[in-house]
């Protein structure tokens, strides 16, 4: 038979697992932290061949829109993500009476992303999915492959930050061990 200390430790272990499962179920990132409503799951099968055609239409529209932007500005996000029609007027270019041109300069990349998402839903596919992601990567390689001017240099965090990041888990581990030992010594109250 197990002694009372072993039995108390087993009870504490089981309670810990149950509390952990309960907390993880309630704190699931997909359930609690979603900022946008989840679209309903498509009931029909994904039509990947049609999706490929639809996404290419989005890509052609994006390419046409990006043709209005000087290639030297392709790496400047403000020129194709948040440039407004007012900025376009101030750039010296002329706005025609075409309504599409005003929309063009309100965020070509956002329109492209929204187009791929909408087309995916129309053909009953999830977004993002591997087909759309591979097309978006091709678009990125075409327009933004030369945007990384310099290599990213990884540096260690400052010593104070590193010390804190190391010591917090160490102290938490020691506190949990002390709590288990303390609870096991007080088995007469917990039993």
Instruction: Tokens for 136, please give them.
Output: 């978006």
pTM of the predicted model, to two decimals?
A: 0.45
Helix boundaries (H) for the chain: 4-26, 29-32, 48-66, 85-90, 99-104, 108-122, 130-144, 159-185, 187-190
Condensed to tens digits (0 to 9), the pLDDT of residues 103-120 reads 334 578 888 888 999 999
Condensed to tens digits (0 to 9), the pLDDT of residues 27-73 reads 544 444 555 555 555 467 888 889 999 999 999 998 988 888 888 87
Instruction: Report the C-alpha gap between 42 and 44 in whole angstroms.
Output: 6
């Amino acid at each position: 038979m197990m002694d009372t200390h072993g039995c108390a430790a087993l009870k504490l272990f089981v309670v810990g697992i149950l509390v952990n499962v309960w907390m993880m179920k309630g704190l699931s990132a997909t359930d609690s932290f979603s900022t946008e409503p989840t679209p309903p799951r498509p009931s029909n099968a994904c039509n990947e061949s049609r999706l490929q055609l639809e996404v290419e239409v989005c890509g052609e529209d994006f390419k046409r829109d990006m043709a209005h932007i000087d290639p030297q500005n392709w790496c400047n996000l403000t020129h194709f993500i948040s440039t407004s029609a007012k900025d376009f007027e101030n750039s010296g270019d002329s706005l025609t009476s075409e309504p599409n041109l005003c929309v063009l300069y309100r965020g070509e990349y956002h329109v492209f992303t929204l187009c791929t998402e909408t087309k995916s839903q129309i053909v009953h596919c999830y977004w993002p999915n591997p087909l759309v992601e591979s097309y978006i990567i091709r678009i990125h390689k075409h327009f933004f492959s030369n945007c990384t001017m310099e290599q990213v240099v990884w540096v260690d965090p400052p010593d104070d930050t590193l010390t804190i990041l190391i010591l917090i888990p160490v102290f938490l581990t020691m506190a949990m061990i002390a709590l288990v030992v303390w609870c096991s010594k007080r088995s007469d109250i917990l039993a």
